[in-house]
Amino acid sequence: MRLNAVWLWLIAMALAQGGPTYTVQRGDTLFSIAKRHDTTVEILMRLNNLSEATLSVGQVLQLPPRVVQHTVQRGDTLFSIARRYGSTVQAIQQENNLEGTALSLGQVLRIPQVSVAAPPPPPAPASPNPAPPPGAAANLVNSTPLPSPTPPQPTPEPAPQPQPADTDYDPTHPLILVVLKYLGLPYVFGANSDRAVDCSAFVQQVFAEVGIKVPRTSREQWGAFTTVQGAMRQGDLVFFSFGGRQIDHVGIYLGRGVFAHANSYGSRVVIESLDSPYYKRVYRGAKRVEALSATQP
């Protein structure tokens, strides 16, 4: 799960507008370019979606994001530092080999800078019989946390299936830009702060940053907005039931079949695929925040 999250971050960085690039010159190889820019051939191939090492003169390659240095001051947290520099908690942890979120006064951190980034493409399809699924039950406030997910009880009507719409995709969508700043923020049941959130608090905070007020809990959010008919759009809320018929989890659809959510099993905000067999099984529908459409040009 940790490695997958690293690659999700790297791919998102590759799509960043204004990120560092390199134009291939005669005689260049992936190895020589990687060595010159302090990276690896594997990272260059993943960032640029290359299936082989062949390069063409004039080809433009995305490079890993630039970094700046920050000296920790009193009151700094990884989340506040990430937001100040337009980075993410997880990116800073990876860059500095940090196991947790504790910081020391005077500590010097390398900060990978994130510009305007698009969501990553969906992860590879999961195996037909996955192990206990990562990213399963971030729970509603005042509900009982689930130590391990169990399939929901049969309902009278078949559950709806997610209907992603790849054609309705804009990498500069304001909600996506906000979501990327939250990646890696710790999940804590019932939390609602700049240090930790639960699933519905994450949704509430993201929408608040674009000037839209939404209810606090996932069930209230489910009841407050219009049911999506047909294909989903970026910014639609996607809802799940890990414990049965009641709504107990929510995320934000980003386009290209992926959604962001505060994930109790991963213990942080992550981006995952709606095509996962597990999420398809517990998916209960999508709702549209009409006020979001009004903010779009």
- Catalytic residue numbers read 199, 249, 261
Reduced to 3 states, what is the DSSP secondary structure of residue 172?
Answer: coil
Which one-letter DSSP state was computed for residue 99?
S
Under a CB-based contact definition with an 8 Å cutoff, are residues 236 and 179 in contact? Answer: no
CA angle 273–46–206, rounded 5-degree value: 40
Under a CB-based contact definition with an 8 Å cutoff, are residues 58 and 21 in contact? Answer: no
List the structure tokens of 85.
Answer: 């520099």
Angle between helical axes of 199-209 and 174-182 (0-180°, round to 10): 130
List the structure tokens of 165.
Answer: 């719409």
Q: CB-hemisphere CA count at 13 Å for 20?
A: 13
CA nearest 255: which of 159, 182, 199, 180? 180
Query: Measured between alpha carbons, how far is residue 201 from residues 60, 282, 295 in Å?
Result: 40, 20, 21
Beta bridge partners of residue 61, listed in sequence order: 22
Under a CB-based contact definition with an 8 Å cutoff, are residues 279 and 272 in contact? Answer: yes
Handedness of CA 201, 240, 3, 62 (dihedral sign): negative
User: In sequence order, which ranges of the chain are alpha helices (DSSP H)?
Assistant: 2-14, 30-36, 41-47, 78-85, 89-96, 174-182, 199-209, 218-224, 277-282, 290-295
